[in-house]
Amino acid sequence: MAKSNSPAVSTSQTWWLLGAALTALVPLIPHVPPWLVALALLLLAGRALLNWTQRKLPARRWLVLLTFAGTAGVLAQFKTLFGQNPGVALLILFLALKPLEARTRRDGLAVVFLCYFLILAQFLFDQSIAAAGMMLATIVTVTAALGSLADARARAADLLRRSGVMLLQAAPFMLLLFVLFPRIQGPLWGLPRDAFSGLTGLSDSMAPGSISNLSQSDAIAFRARFAESPPRDQLYWRGPVLNDFDGRTWRIERRLPAQRLPYVPQGPAIDYEVTLEPHAKRWLFALELPGSLPPDSLMTGDYQLLAKAPVTARQRYKASSHTTMSVGLDDSEHVLQRARTLPPDFNPRTRALAASWRQQHGSDDAAVLDAAKRFFLSQGLAYTLTPPLLGQHSIDEFLFETRQGFCEHYSGAFVFALRAAGLPARVVTGYQGGETNPFDGYFTVRQYDAHAWAEVWLADNGWTRIDPTAISVPLRIEQNLAAAVPAGSNVPFMARLDLALLRELRLRLDALANNWNQWVIGYNPERQREFLDRLGMRAPDWRQMTATLAVLAGLVLLGFTAWALRQRRRTDPVQRTWIRLGRKLQRRGLPRHPWEGPLAYAGRIAVRFPESATEIGTISTLYGRLRYGKLDPVLFSELKSRVARFQP
């Protein structure tokens, strides 16, 4: 193997490389297997120990064995070496191994470039403001490490300052590219298959305890911006519709989605825009009921609004809902009969109660419904986040024994009773309520706003929303979760009413994060057109935007070239020739120190390259005469000629 001409890395340069590798690795620790984190930290610590004790680096064969072992571990972990997660894992492995063979500055450059790749990888997992801030700090550190490879004697403070200045100088051009570069639909980075494994949200089934568990989370489900805010009793955000019941669990009915709205919108409309957080399912949430479909969406026959693909990235859509119209008046008998179906041998006491309503009111479905409402109002049902466990006849136990439950208990029991009385009914889940953030004007709906209610079919009105929770515990609808549950309940932080200052701080942070999501992460083609329209660039096309970028880049390049030429003219021509000689020698591992004079430098060169001692002595003498004496064109021509021919 030919010997590299790249200079050896010094002890201080190695410390910088290890620091850069560590800062690039730390943000990824939560997203990679623990064994890989431990291995990477162990390898970096081992390289630090070798640097501290000035011992030799391990033989190449050990590095090869470690590389194969680590790669085998990645393969065993992910079952493949291709894709996002295994790719990031391999980058971490290579970054941890590379310093163990970093003998030259060229090897150091490889470490730095691996760090830059890992900085990009951070955004595959987290695109928050905190992640961006950590990325900037990492870039400053890695760029400082890059600077140390060029100037080994520079102080740490100087390297960090230069790195920060470089980023500040690049910021204007970066902002121009961000604003003007043509956007593509969707994020530039993919998301891993397991990116949503820890997310909370509604599901396609409901059993006792499922929504009360969800109510413990104050994670944001979505945000909305209204042209005019509707009253709270209209804030029912429709989601999964549960029509099938097996005695304990309600599930959605598997049916093909309709391609268009199964109703004609009627009545006044509420206009708003929703920014939906990713939840890895297909539901799009809208107030009951939307008058049009957002792009790339469908609606089922039971009025579930679905995206054509799972929502794996933040999604923004506009909607216009009609909250007072009647739907389903012409539903088929097959649909209605399915909405009356109950499994046999469950909840006999509730069945008997419903039969008494029917016997008392005959065929008057509205009167039967009123009887059910009166019963729920009179039972003294308690709203609690910690309902007791229920047995086989869960609805009987809830209505006649424990009388404690959450919205899934109320809605499930109400629908069961109506079906037992012969009325078509089903459970609808979604979100109810939310709160306006005063610092950005957005209406925020959190996971603890998850709710379930009933929907009953009446001949004169079609499908009609009935919320048994609102009947028994009206504070849940009129105010929020914290007002409805007993004092001392373990409600999520953002639902509490007694922490005003902390809530205000959290709302400010939420507003900041929302603006980041709306204008940075969510800067899609629509947002770009909106922003450029404000700047007077109406309906720009790709060619116009590319031409604008080219002109701006040309102006920046022209300005930089003019500045560089001006700086070059300021440099003495003799000095430029001497610098050219220094660059040649730097490539051979003998750079000139900033404080080093020509004679001292020539002495070091003569020791390193004794065969060139005479020539370098002549060159240094010529340089000294021309630099510190009168400029002689003949001697200057000789100096340039000798420097051009000099080959150490």
361 is catalytic: no
Question: Of 551, 528, 543, whose CA–CA distance to 180 is shortest?
Answer: 528
**Could you give the maximum distance between any two Cα atoms of the chain, in Å?**
123
List 31, 396, 451, 510, catalytic entry: 451
Tokens 């079906």, residue located: 419
Whether 284 contacts 276, CB under 8 Å: yes
Show Cβ contacts of residue 514 under 8 Å, excluding neighbours closer than 6 positions.
Answer: 223, 275, 437, 440, 442
Whether 152 contacts 10, CB under 8 Å: yes
334 is catalytic: no
Chain-centre distance of CA 266, in angstroms?
38
Per-position b or e across 200-225, b if 16+ CB within 10 A of its CB: bbbbbebbbbbbbebbebbebbbbbb
> Cα dist. 208→59, 247, 395, 398 in Å?
62, 11, 10, 10
Whether 528 contacts 520, CB under 8 Å: no
Question: Of 266, 329, 167, whose CA–CA distance to 159 is shortest?
Answer: 167
Helix or strand (DSSP H, E) at 76: helix 60-78
List 204, 407, 409, 449, catalytic entry: 407
Strand, helix or coil at 387?
Answer: coil
Alpha carbon distance 27, 475 (integer Å): 43
List 107, 302, 449, 467, catalytic entry: 467
451 is catalytic: yes
Helix axes 573-587, 598-608, angle to 10 degrees: 30
* Catalytic residue annotation: 407, 451, 467
